[in-house]
Amino acid sequence: MLLLPWFKWFQDTSIGSAIRTSTYWFPFIEVVHLLGLVVLLGPILLVDLRLLGFGRSRLPVPRVVRAVAPLLLAGIATMLATGLLLLSAEAIKCYDNPAFWFKMYFLAGALLFHSTIYFPVAFSTPPGRAISKITGAVSLILWFGVALGGRVIAFL
């Protein structure tokens, strides 16, 4: 209940109302949101598979991370920006939707994990070590949990 007034306010903003009442804005923003997910999950998958020991073993993991970092950041920025726009259109519906909260918990976990554990491991650990494999597996679970939660929101 603590967040409900904020969700009500957010849905009643002019941006939320405009998106909600438009025929085209919500689907357009949703498509951009999904493109952001693809741009995010592509680099995540490349790095995580390297951490798990798959892929081009001649390339060190830190080099792969540096190469895909701009895409990863662009994907996260796109998803967060469009996600807030989508939320503004139907915040109360999302507030009452368990799949939304599932997605938010996984998103918070993924962002926290990546900012505290993932990048230090990816920049310092050669693939094949247990910590690399665990880090890659946890990352995949968290991000695919975000994607799964987002997909289920429409059905609950």
Say if 3 falls within a structural domain: no
Say if 35 falls within a structural domain: yes
Give the mean pLDDT of 18-42: 95
Q: DSSP letter for 11, please.
A: H
Say if 5 falls within a structural domain: no
Average model confidence (pLDDT) across the chain: 92
Whether residue 56 has pLDDT greater than 80: no
Exposed, middle or buried, 35 (CB in 10 Å: 0-12/13-18/19+)?
A: middle
Say if 1 falls within a structural domain: no
Say if 112 falls within a structural domain: yes
| Pairwise pLDDT comparison (61 vs 16), residue with the higher score | 16
The total of structural domains in the chain comes to 1
Say if 142 falls within a structural domain: yes
Say if 42 falls within a structural domain: yes
**C-alpha distance from residue 123 to each of 5, 29, 116, 118, 155 (Å):** 42, 34, 12, 9, 39
- What is the pLDDT at residue 59? 80
Of the pLDDT bands very low, low, confident and very high (cuts 50, 70, 90), residue 4 is: very high
Whether residue 42 has pLDDT greater than 80: yes
Range of the domain at 141: 13-153
Say if 2 falls within a structural domain: no
Give the mean pLDDT of 46-59: 84
- What is the pLDDT at residue 156? 83
